[in-house]
Amino acid sequence: MINKKNGFTLIETLLAILILSVAIAGPLTIASKGLSAELVAKDQTTAYYLAQDAVEYVRFVRDSNLLAGNTDWMAGLDGSSNGHTNTGSSGSGYDCTNYSNYACIVDSIQDTTSRCTALLCSAPLKYDAVVSYQYGYSAGSNTIFTRSVLITCIDSTTNNPTSSCSSTNVHEAIVKVTVQWVDAGGVTRQVVISENLFNWQS
């Protein structure tokens, strides 16, 4: 009597491999997309805090001016001197308030500002991973983030933007901070924060 042994045919084997491949590929695809989403979320969180840092710096300059009795509440940000921001030979901060032409860079660590040549700045923020563990423009390695600050002062009599923040009619300023970066997939992303600041002594 002949003993017959049954086995898998080639088609059955290929079908089993296909099912196994689909079963493995699904979870791997989900894990890969989850990792990509996590990296984007990490960058967005970092960008948000970098934008908020710039807003807080502008608030610090405003409060320092008012507490020191400076009649120009945006001094150091509007091209005039406040005694500490950009204390070079002229002691003046760069003008961040020309809302129609250019933005500026603020470095909260160095207490300085510098003007850009466009509405979005191209200088990358640096991260100091050795000494201070802070973001700034003076020390560390370049990051993927750029930050642009635009301050628009509002004339209270007309409710229109004005480039002169030192006018007696100006009691409000809109601070807009844009943090931009290109992610690992080559997609350009932005976080934009806008906040209204007021001259609380007027």
pLDDT in tens, 134-175: 999 988 999 999 999 999 999 888 888 887 787 788 899 999
150 strand-pairing partners = 176
Joined together, the tokens standing for residue 124 give 């990358």
Question: In 6-160, which ranges are continuous DSSP H helix?
Answer: 10-67
C-alpha 154/C-alpha 114 separation (Å) is 22
C-alpha 171/C-alpha 202 separation (Å) is 7
C-alpha 81/C-alpha 93 separation (Å) is 6
Averaged over 50-56, what is the pLDDT? 97
C-alpha 27/C-alpha 167 separation (Å) is 62
Radius of gyration of the chain (CA): 27
Give φ, ψ of 113 to 5 degrees.
Answer: -130, 155
The model scores a pTM over 0.85: no
Averaged over 36-46, what is the pLDDT? 83
Element (H, E) at 197: strand 188-198
pLDDT of residue 166: 77
What is the CA 12 to chain-centroid distance, rounded?
Answer: 56
Q: Is the confidence at residue 2, as pLDDT, over 60?
A: no
Structural domain spans, the chain: 10-82+92-198
152 strand-pairing partners = 174
Q: Is the confidence at residue 90, as pLDDT, over 80?
A: no
C-alpha 59/C-alpha 145 separation (Å) is 22
Tell me, what DSSP letter sits at residue 78?
B
